[in-house]
Structure 1
């Protein structure tokens, strides 16, 4: 395993262990074989308080999208509040518009961490122009594609061939051409989360 691949696997597994859930539904997640947290006291989990439940919901959502930093996540929340409609739904829509999220949804990379690395290394085009910022917000109709050099990366080919995930309806992927179109901003019930995501609890956390 390449060093960068090892780091991505370690990051995913560390988040899974800390939260005690298989956040991305991966078959090799360390929590598949145990239902308790890391460390010698991991089996002594107490019933969480309301605050603890809200905090866990926030950490799960941040972790799922590649462990987004608190400062940036709070900006997304503030934007979700500013927009009309349900704040929790708005927050999910904002997160799903991120370039790394759409690349992950397109199934051209195996993980959101791999999506971020692929973008950072300059392998991704947005509407035909190189983009190396994973947090760029896409709009419906935007087209992402991989540069020729990335089309032979084993992780990319393995991700496309994998049957672990399906491409959701709000992303139109053409794997033969290594491109995908962001069709629309999804509603919460359209997003294929493998675990229960509760943005309403995130709203409660920030509304304290």
Structure 2
């Protein structure tokens, strides 16, 4: 297990938000940062600090993506036509592990990444074990037949913590779904406010 997975709830406490809207999050009981200095009074953040926090929040939400890979998403978003911040969200939402999470085949983005890595997911009938694989409009995502009765998958599908967004359709009895279209920022069901425009400002400094 990587440090990124082990420290997922430390991300919540460091950022001061319940990033994934989970009832188990320690931020619900300890609304301050981790460590012996976590309860110190915080000074007003600079513009740079605000932008950095927005980046860490967005990067952390998607399973704490590595900095190099996250920067590549920004560069691709800049290269594409249209609003850069909307393009960035679209790229992140097209990740296969994100789609698996949105379809409620996994309980967290970290679990979704591991689920894809272990080869439990089919895209258009073909096994894909790359979490960063970008799904296209109309692609069918399905849990492999032997994996459909896994307790973790059934628990995630039945969880009432979140709903499947409108840009995705899913049949939990068949454990398959379809990515219908690229979402706008307003379509994405973030439990906390995300500010990709500040992320764009951070990288374009």
Q: Tell me the CA shift for residue 34 of structure 1.
A: 2.2
Q: Does 1:16 align with 2:4?
A: no
Rounded to whole Å, the distance in 2 between the matches of 1:8 and 1:178 is 28
Q: Aligned Cα RMSD in Å?
A: 1.4
Aligned length: 203
Specify the alignment match of 1:207 in structure 2: 204
Specify the alignment match of 2:60 in structure 1: 63
Find the partner of 1:154 among 151, 173, 185: 151
SS at match of 2:189: coil
Find the partner of 1:33 among 26, 29, 32: 29
Rounded to whole Å, the distance in 2 between the matches of 1:132 and 1:111 is 17
Give 4+ residue runs of structure 1 displaced > 4 Å after superposition. Answer: none
Q: Tell me the CA shift for residue 14 of structure 1.
A: 1.9
Rounded to whole Å, the distance in 1 between the matches of 2:11 and 2:31 is 14
Superposed CA offset, 1:3-46 (max 9, x none): xx9x8874321211221211000001011112211111111222
Superposed CA offset, 1:117-146 (max 9, x none): 111111100000001000000100001101
The answer for unaligned runs of 5 or more in structure 2 is none
Higher mean C-alpha deviation, range 99-108 or range 12-21: 12-21
Rounded to whole Å, the distance in 1 between the matches of 2:19 and 2:64 is 11
Conserved 8 A contact 2:123-2:142: yes
Conserved 8 A contact 2:13-2:31: no
Conserved 8 A contact 1:106-1:180: yes
SS at match of 2:142: strand
